[in-house]
Amino acid sequence: MRIAVFDTKNYDRQSLDGANQQFGHQLSYFEPRLNRDTLELVHGVDAVCPFVNDRLDAEVIASLAARGVRLITLRCAGFNGVDLAACRQHGITVTRVPAYSPHAVAEHAFALLLAVVRRIHKSYVRVREMDFSLDGLVGFDLYRKTIGVVGTGRIGQATIAIAKGFGMRVLAFDVYPQAGLDEKLGFEYVSLPRLLAECDVVSLHLPLTAETQHMINTTSLAGMKPGAVLINTSRGGLIETAALIAALKDGRLAGVGLDVYEMEEGVFFENHSEVGLQDDQLARLLTFPNVLVTAHQGFLTREALDNIAETTLANATAFERGSQLDNKV
């Protein structure tokens, strides 16, 4: 198939070119995101391949259909940026990568957790300035602490396994709990209010939907155990940023580790060092010494990139051949 790949970086091209040796698709790479402003780049292709922050609303979908696009092969798990109703209306199929390397994201969640708890980011800066003092760097053991895992899909399960390795007690919440999973992995399913009230660490691992939008808000933050740590490696919109800033100002949270941010589109994945941030909320978050933000890199391991590329192109091949689409949205 002729596929236009949007929002591409060098690491995307390397992985996709490597995987494409077994599929033989015609790939055209574009650095901009796919949205209303970049539609003119789409011509003479059968499919488009967007990423997590591309915006395919009803207007974009209609234009893609008019240009002969029959497939949107997402190279990510989330599909909240695609108007699925418009796709059905115009006969465009949507596929995704439901699981690429759950361990990559789960391990990054713990990288954030350990860095926040043990003040690694602060210590790194100090030592670079030849300051070897330890004042203000006191953390706490993860051993025997209670972690709350919100969402028990593949990434949540990988997170639970890591937490058990640290000797942590694990509580979990999921709207659709999997029967027997708690006994298999050694955790307890509880209500979300109980999880927030009892856990020393809360880690989010669920998709962004109308139901989960701002699930961490003023009310839920007030219900969290004082001195808890909040980790989000899923979707930025799960957390209401203004409420999070207020909780940080009140000193309720011991630390926050974010790999995602609700207004990250146009900010993350780009270099803004020469122009500065125009987002006041993100700039405010970065002023807190107990907040660590990474730029949506939880997926960024060689294994994950290769899995994403292979599944994305395999989806396109299955569509082209009329085979069963296991990853159809």
Is 235 tagged catalytic?
A: yes
Rounded Cα distance between 53 and 35, Å, is 9
Q: DSSP labels for 126-189?
A: HHHTT----TT------TT-EEEEE--SHHHHHHHHHHHHTT-EEEEE-SSPPTTHHHHHT-EE
Active-site residue, from 33, 96, 154, 296 = 296
Active-site residue, from 25, 235, 262, 310 = 235
Active-site residue, from 55, 108, 240, 264 = 264
Rounded Cα distance between 214 and 100, Å, is 26
Kindly report the number of other CB atoms within 10 A of residue 324's CB atom: 7
Is 154 tagged catalytic?
A: no
Query: Which residues, in sequence order, are bridge partners of residue 188?
Result: 171
Rounded Cα distance between 326 and 329, Å, is 9
Is 126 tagged catalytic?
A: no
CB 298 within 8 A of CB 111: no
Q: Which residues are annotated as catalytic?
A: 235, 264, 296
